[in-house]
Amino acid sequence: MTKGVVMSEQAGASGADPVEDTVEIRLPADSAYLAVLRTATAGLAARLNFTLDEIEDLRIAVDEACAMLLPHSIVGAQLSCRFRLTAETLEVTVTIATADGQLPQKDTFSWTVLTALAGDVETGSNEEREVWIRLRKRRSVSGTA
């Protein structure tokens, strides 16, 4: 079994074209690996010229999303984190296989923290009972230095 896979798909040609990339990281569903996702989040947000405060907010939001999903994972599951970068937005989708496909509750303190830090947050599931949380954070105007 592969412990982690990192994939990148570049949507545009290099050079003057705006950034539009997708990076996916898959890790064992264990909180011990969350530092890898926090670091990747910070690096990708920095690539888009997010401010230091926005980068820290995203790091905490990704950590919070994972913390909400991990307790519901099935044994041997992998945590998938897909980062989609555009010129002004970082979209992060965290997905995990669960036993019942139950969505995270939106009336919790964790959900409130998540939405405060990330801006646009949504959740869903698919027919394989994988549950996902998607965060979308737009770079502030002051982050365009």
101-121 pLDDT, tens digit per residue, is 999 999 999 999 999 999 899
For position 110, which CATH number holds? 3.30.565.10
Task: Identify the domain containing residue 63 by its residue range.
Answer: 5-144
- d(C-alpha 123, C-alpha 138), whole Å: 18
Q: Which residues are CB-contacts of 27 (< 8 A; sequence separation ≥ 6)?
A: 3, 4, 33, 36, 37, 78, 79, 81
Domain count, the chain: 1
3-class secondary-structure state, position 76: coil
d(CA 30, CA 75): 10
Q: Percent of the chain beyond pLDDT 70?
A: 83
Instruction: Express each pLDDT in 55-91 by its tens digit.
Output: 999 999 999 999 999 999 999 999 999 999 998 899 9
Encode pLDDT of 22-56 as tens digits. 999 999 999 999 999 999 999 999 999 999 999 99
